[in-house]
Amino acid sequence: MELYLDTANLEQIKEVAEMGIIRGVTTNPSLLAKEDPTVDFKQRIIEIHRLVGGHVSVEVISTDKDGMVREAEEIIEWFPEATIKIPMIPQGLAAVKELSARGIPTNVTLIFSATQAIAAQQAGASYVSIFLGRLDDIAYDGIAVLNDICEIWDVQGYDSLIIAASIRNPLHIVESARAGADIATVPYNVLMQSLKNPLTDIGLEKFIKDYDRYLTERQKSMLI
């Protein structure tokens, strides 16, 4: 399973890309709306791609097929490597069908059930994004839905890549990997939290203290 960062924040992307642990970035209108509005959308997306060097999903905001296709054409014009993120609605499926026929990669977003995932796959989606946290929020089991979808993909040999999205905690990352998701797209704070373990910090502190003690002892022994 690959890790993507779920953000539009350039500082976060730069920091995590430098660690070499992410292969892509997913954005959405809500994430973009959190960022500085004086930075042009197009420039932000190009900069994100420069920083991460891999997958970048860019979401359309139209809700009709022609509008989505028009937006996708515009995005591809200034950023040819983009994957176009399309909402899981009937008009979105029609847009995915047309874009996939033209070889433009798509990521169908806002998927909450196996039937929606199957439909997106049939329409030609390159990626299907399953929203774990938002299912958990309404007392559905997001990981159980993801497990179902991964199992169906194995049985059927479907080729759309499965993205575990709406990740809210490190356990979601572990369970997504166990389920067999191809990608987990993770917010910055959850990803950083997932790297931490108190035993690592305690262990490092002890290594440094022990080495300092050794150096002090050594210096003392050389003075004798």
Residues designated catalytic: 85
* Candidates 97-105, 112-120, 127-135, 210-218; binding stretch for ligand G3P (CB under 6 A): 127-135
Measured from the CB atom, the residue of 6 and 71 that comes closer to ligand G3P is 6
Q: In the bound complex, what is the minimum distance in angstroms from residue 27's beta carbon to ligand G3P?
A: 8
Closest CA to 2 of 126, 195, 181, 132: 181
By CB under 6 A, what part of segment 27-86 binds ligand G3P?
A: 28
Determine if 194 is a binding residue for ligand G3P (CB under 6 A). no
Contact present, 127 and 107 (Cβ < 8 Å): yes
Determine if 166 is a binding residue for ligand G3P (CB under 6 A). yes
* Candidates 11-19, 60-68, 126-134, 193-201; binding stretch for ligand G3P (CB under 6 A): 126-134
Query: Look-up: residue for tokens 């176009």?
Result: 84
Query: Look-up: residue for tokens 């979601």?
Result: 172
Structure tokens at 41: 């959308």
3-state SS assignment for residue 111: strand
3-state SS assignment for residue 5: strand
3-state SS assignment for residue 132: helix
Determine if 26 is a binding residue for ligand G3P (CB under 6 A). yes
The only residue of 42, 70, 97, 134 in contact with ligand G3P, by rule CB under 6 A = 134
Q: Please report how many Cα atoms fall inside a 13 Å half-sphere around the Cα of residue 163, on the Cβ side.
A: 30
Q: In the bound complex, what is the minimum distance in angstroms from residue 92's beta carbon to ligand G3P?
A: 15
> Where does 66-165 show beta strands of DSSP type E?
83-87, 106-111, 127-131, 161-165
Determine if 185 is a binding residue for ligand G3P (CB under 6 A). yes
Question: Given the rule CB under 6 A, which residues bind ligand G3P?
Answer: 6, 26, 28, 129, 131, 133-134, 165-166, 185
